């Protein structure tokens, strides 16, 4: 069976380690979120977190820190590639600290300026639970009327611009503040800097002239430096897909399709160069055949985020659905992952985790502190559904 993981944000996470155990997970996915982007992690800090997870509660069901998600890649690496020497050296130092502690999977992303992006963090579902959502018209209203990006009007049809204006004109100042926080201020677990609107505009200006080919080249230059180090330690580097998997704010995105990943593996064939197979992110793009991608890239998959999204009528908006529903054929994906996992040694099992659960039941209480998408109960449900599906597939043989 694949290893059941759980994302944990550290000692300040409202979800405790005992909550993780009671959900049935055995493997923790976390990072040193307190370390500023670009600073090297120390072996002492990694060991302190590892001991907290694995040794702080003797007698409890054991937990293992198996995946680092994520060591943030500083912005200058995305803009400059191999020329960002100091930042790459700091990243390698963090990798070495992680590897020295026996952690063999590192997840990362290469999304410029903004990490994963949502316009709504608590969109109410028909059953009263709350989900995260990307509303294309609200996003366009932000781009055109709040950020006021000069190039934006040329990227939206007249009809889309009309809808965005209507959305913007109906916004209160509280609505504006809310969407600015969601998009520009960095969501939980983000590996990009929180930005004010003026800072956001300035950061976009720094990417002028950087198209998808240039960004892909910069990623290849980064991996050419770090992959040999990772391979020497037996560490897998797993690139998380873009979320959503398409250009935003005129910025290139280069981890959105099978072709993107194939180009990356062709450029840097090191066995350390792998994929974080995030079904939610990749599933937003209708042309992505996820079961086929899981089979095609199976040997490169060291880590999986298993969640589902539901595309809306406009083809661009989407929301987080139940883990076994939405537009993702989760059963077919699981069959592909399990088939690959059966070929591996006990020390090389795929780690998966439920992702972006709904806010539901007691987690809806106004007094309950939660991280958007990372509530205990919603992910507990997701992990239980995934575990049940896996058991059924394995039983069927």
Q: Which long-range contacts (CB under 8 A, 24 or more apart) does 370-373 make?
A: 370/14, 371/9, 371/13, 371/14, 371/188, 371/189, 372/118, 372/121, 372/122, 372/132, 372/187, 372/188, 373/121, 373/132, 373/187, 373/188, 373/320
**CA 67 to each of CA 27, 29, 133: distance values in angstroms, whole numbers, following the listed order:** 8, 5, 27
Burial degree of 212 (CB within 10 A; 0-12, 13-18, 19+)? middle
What order do you get walking across the sheet with 318-321 strand by strand?
120-124, 130-134, 318-321, 308-311
CA pair distance 204, 184, nearest whole angstrom: 12
Burial degree of 217 (CB within 10 A; 0-12, 13-18, 19+)? middle
Q: Which long-range contacts (CB under 8 A, 24 or more apart) does 54-62 make?
A: 56/17, 57/17, 57/18, 60/17, 60/18, 60/21, 61/21, 61/26, 62/26
Q: Is 333 helix (H, G, I), strand (E, B) or coil?
A: helix
CB 105 within 8 A of CB 236: yes
* Chain position carrying tokens 């987080």: 320
Cis link prior to 244 (omega < 30° from 0)? Answer: yes
Active site residues: 240, 278, 305, 355-356, 374
Per the rule left: phi > 0, alpha: psi between -120 and 50, beta: everything else, 326 is left
């Amino acid at each position: 069976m694949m290893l059941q993981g759980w994302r944990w944000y550290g000692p300040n996470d409202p979800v405790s380690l005992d909550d993780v155990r009671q959900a049935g997970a055995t493997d923790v996915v976390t990072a040193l979120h307190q370390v500023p982007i670009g600073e090297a992690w120390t072996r002492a800090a990694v060991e302190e977190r590892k001991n907290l997870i694995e040794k702080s509660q003797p007698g409890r069901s054991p937990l293992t820190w198996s995946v680092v998600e994520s060591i943030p890649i500083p912005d200058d690496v995305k803009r400059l590639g191999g020329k960002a020497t100091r930042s790459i050296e700091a990243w390698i130092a963090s990798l070495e600290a992680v590897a020295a502690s026996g952690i063999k999977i590192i997840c990362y992303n290469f999304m410029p300026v903004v990490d994963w992006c949502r316009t709504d963090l608590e969109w109410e579902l028909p059953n009263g639970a709350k989900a995260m959502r990307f509303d294309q018209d609200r996003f366009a209203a932000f781009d055109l009327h709040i950020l006021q990006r000069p190039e934006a009007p040329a990227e939206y049809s007249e009809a889309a611009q009309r809808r965005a204006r209507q959305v913007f004109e109906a916004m209160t100042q509280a609505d504006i503040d809310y969407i600015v926080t969601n998009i520009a201020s960095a969501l939980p677990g983000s590996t990009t800097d929180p930005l004010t609107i003026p800072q956001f505009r300035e950061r976009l200006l720094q990417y002028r002239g950087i198209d998808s080919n240039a960004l892909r080249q910069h990623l290849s230059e980064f991996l050419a430096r770090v992959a040999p180090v990772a391979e020497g330690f037996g560490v897998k580097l797993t690139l998380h897909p873009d979320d959503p998997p398409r250009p935003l704010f005129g910025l290139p995105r280069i981890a959105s399709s099978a072709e993107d990943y194939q180009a990356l593996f062709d450029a840097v064939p090191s066995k350390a160069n792998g994929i974080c197979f995030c079904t939610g992110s990749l599933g937003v793009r209708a042309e992505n055949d996820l079961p086929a991608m899981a089979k095609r890239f199976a040997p490169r998959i060291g880590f999986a985020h298993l969640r589902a999204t539901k595309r809306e009528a406009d083809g661009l908006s989407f929301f987080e659905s139940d883990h076994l529903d939405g537009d993702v054929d989760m059963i077919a994906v699981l069959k592909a992952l399990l088939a690959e996992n059966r070929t591996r040694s006990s020390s090389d099992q795929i780690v998966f985790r439920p992702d972006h659960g709904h806010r539901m039941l007691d987690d809806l209480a106004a007094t309950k502190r939660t991280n958007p998408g990372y509530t205990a109960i919603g992910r507990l449900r997701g992990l239980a559904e995934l575990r049940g599906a896996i058991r059924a597939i394995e039983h069927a043989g």
